[in-house]
Amino acid sequence: MEEFKRLNRELTYKGTIVDFYKDTIQVPNGNIVNWDFIGHQGAAAVLPVREDGKLIMVRQYRNAIDRYTLELPAGGLNAPDEPTEKAAIRELREETGYIAGQWELLVSIYTTVAFCNEKIDIYLARDLKPGERHLDEDEVINVEAYGTEELCEMIYSGKIQDSKTVAAVLAYKNKFLREC
């Protein structure tokens, strides 16, 4: 396979969640090009499953698309070396109030490989116990429960478009249920 060579990476803006870079790349034919790169320190998400089989989702406003979304509880790592399972445990408690007795890595995804290195490890959480939520100051979140079939219908009809949620629900269905 032909090689690409990064000649330079210049930080153009340091954000609170992501950093923006201009990369100078030499492509295999020898041309020099500039590519955008967005650096992200990673995230964790949780697919919580109640004993009745319902999946816990959160509904919240997302500024980037100017609407409410139905998605998994999730959040960024507090540091690049924070274990993702630790972050998943924290986010489940903060956003839903639940704690889980069983944890399993379900799937890992890169959200937008063309220009961003955001990786999300998605965990399956079972043996849920309700507790108290600890929302961040900017979070307004409704906690809702759905059957897998309902969520699959929302995915296929375009009502759920969040990539981590689509990946998690379909991975769970494929690995554990075979429905939808």
Q: What class is the 41-177 domain?
A: alpha beta
38 touches 45 (CB < 8 A): no
| Per-residue pLDDT tens over the stretch 61-82 | 999 999 999 999 999 999 999 9
Q: Computed from CA positions of residues 62, 75, 150, 109, in that sequence, does the dihedral angle turn out positive or negative?
A: positive
Q: How far apart are CA 104 and CA 122, in angstroms?
A: 9
Catalytic residues: 137
CB 76 within 8 A of CB 42: yes
Q: Give the pTM.
A: 0.92
Average pLDDT, the chain: 95
* DSSP one-letter string for the chain: ----EEEEEEEEEE-SSEEEEEEEEE-TTS-EEEEEEEEE--EEEEEEB-TTSPEEEEEEEEGGGTEEEEE--EEE-SSTTS-HHHHHHHHHHHHH--EEEEEEEEEEEES-TTTB--EEEEEEEEEEE-------TT--EEEEEE-HHHHHHHHHTTS---HHHHHHHHHHIIIII---
The gap between the terminal CA atoms of the chain, to the nearest Å, is 39
pLDDT at 2: 85
pLDDT digits (tens, 9 = 90+) for 112-129: 999 999 999 999 999 999
